[in-house]
Amino acid sequence: MKKALSEQRQCIRDIYKRLVPYLICPTGTHVDYMVNPGAVPESFFSWRKNIFSTLFHSVYLALAIPVERRMLYGRLIHLFRIWVTSADNLLDNEDKVVVPINMPGSSRVMRQVVAVMAADRVLSEIINDYVENGVITNDAGRKLMAESLRYLLPSAAQEATEEGGILKRPDPEHVLNVIHKLKTGLLFNLTFIGPEIAEHELNKTKNKTLKDALMQFGIGCQILDDVRDIARDLKEKRHNYVLSWLAHNQPSVFSDLEKRKVDVSERLYLQVPQAVVPAARLGFKMMKTGLLTLGSEGFDYTSRQAEKMAEMMFTILDLADIGKSAMLLD
């Protein structure tokens, strides 16, 4: 993990360096309409800010992928992060900065659009560099260009179904096994696109084991997200495992919640422990199981360390107030 973080930091710095030329207005632009790259905070390179990217990059070490291609795939990880975060900002009316850009006006929407467009140009530049240097073949480069978008389309389609709000709450098992696999599980498997295209000696059995483990860990994280976001997902009519459980198992409680005026930041999960505690336990179990598998596949940490990492996710996901109280760890 330490080595992966070090390499991932190098990849991130290179991405921001490559973005700069695409974020500068042409000479002669009126001063009121200037655009230029913002300063990249040092916090962008911290371990906490890159916990998932580090986990993804660790896969390349576990698969014994040569360093020159690890650094290519590591760059792709951060480009995917830019695309996904910028898209989420647009869909959720948020402004989580992933590419600092100085632009006149509030510019929340346009900065996301420019970030996506600039990142796409950097992708082309990087792949061309790696093809020209003989690190990957021209055919692999073309496939990476295509699959970097194609792979995201099912997740994009799932998000599209939530635009404007959902009309009914599906069964919680459908949320878990279909919706959350597309919403989050698929994103936790982005790291495998590069190796599956460009690695000729890929250990396919180990690759699948790691892929399944990250999928399980990612869905476990999404369940905790659902717990935290009950109020937001109720108000915005978005899919949520806990809300689906209530709708199908305690419809009167769910109906009462729907009638309430809730603030999106309200910690509504504290008011429905009968649904939240089992969901949080399931999320914890899935995260722990995924991490245990990774540990046994070369990540070099013990079962107790895997458990502590899963526990830590409650704090990272702003759910420290239910981790212990729900007796998740007994």
Overall residue count recorded for the chain in this entry: 330
Residue 159 lies in a domain: no
Same domain, 68 and 211: no
Question: How far is residue 90 from each of residues 6, 103, 109, measured CA to CA in Å?
Answer: 31, 17, 6
Is pLDDT of 325 > 90? no
Tens digit of each residue's pLDDT (9 = 90 or more) over 78-113: 999 999 999 999 998 889 999 999 999 888 999 999
Same domain, 189 and 321: yes
pLDDT at 1: 87
Same domain, 213 and 315: yes
Residue 165 lies in a domain: no
Is pLDDT of 29 > 70? yes
Same domain, 5 and 146: yes
Count of structural domains within the chain = 2
In the chain the first and final C-alpha atoms are separated, in Å, by 27
Is pLDDT of 328 > 90? no
Question: How far is residue 57 from each of residues 61, 123, 195, 201, 209, measured CA to CA in Å?
Answer: 7, 18, 11, 18, 16
pLDDT at 92: 87
Domain final position from 150, 167, 201? 150
Domain final position from 106, 134, 150? 150
Q: Which of 9-18, 217-226, 281-290, 313-322 has the lowest mean pLDDT?
A: 313-322
What gap in Å lies between CA 55 and CA 89, rounded to an integer?
23
Q: How many CA atoms lie less than 13 Å away from 95 in the CB half-sphere? A: 8
Same domain, 82 and 146: yes
Tens digit of each residue's pLDDT (9 = 90 or more) over 31-77: 999 999 999 999 999 999 999 999 999 999 999 999 999 999 999 99
pLDDT at 199: 96
Residues 6+ apart with CB under 8 A from 228: 269, 317, 318, 319
Residue 304 lies in a domain: yes
Residue 108 lies in a domain: yes
Same domain, 141 and 181: no
CB 194 within 8 A of CB 151: no
Same domain, 199 and 78: no
Same domain, 228 and 291: yes
Tens digit of each residue's pLDDT (9 = 90 or more) over 194-237: 999 999 999 999 999 999 999 999 999 999 999 999 999 999 99
pLDDT at 93: 87
State what percent of residues in the chain have pLDDT above 70: 98
Same domain, 115 and 249: no
pLDDT at 320: 85
Alpha helices in 151-250 (DSSP H): 153-162, 172-174, 180, 193-198, 204-228, 230-236, 241-249
Residue 169, both tokens: 């709450």
Query: Taking the mean position of all CA atoms in its chain, how far away is CA 266?
Result: 23
Q: What is the mean pLDDT of residues 285-290?
A: 95
Is pLDDT of 326 > 80? no
Same domain, 183 and 238: yes
Could you tell me the residue range of the domain that residue 185 belongs to?
175-330
Same domain, 32 and 106: yes
Cβ atoms within 10 A of the Cβ of 211, count?
17
Is pLDDT of 324 > 50? yes
Tens digit of each residue's pLDDT (9 = 90 or more) over 232-266: 999 999 999 999 999 999 999 999 999 988 888 88
pLDDT at 301: 82
Same domain, 244 and 190: yes
Residue 170 lies in a domain: no
pTM of the model: 0.93
Domain final position from 115, 150, 185? 150
Residue 107, both tokens: 């510019």
CB 256 within 8 A of CB 176: no
Q: What confidence category does residue 303 fall into, taking pLDDT thresholds of 50, 70 and 90?
A: confident
Is pLDDT of 327 > 50? no
What gap in Å lies between CA 128 and CA 286, rounded to an integer?
39
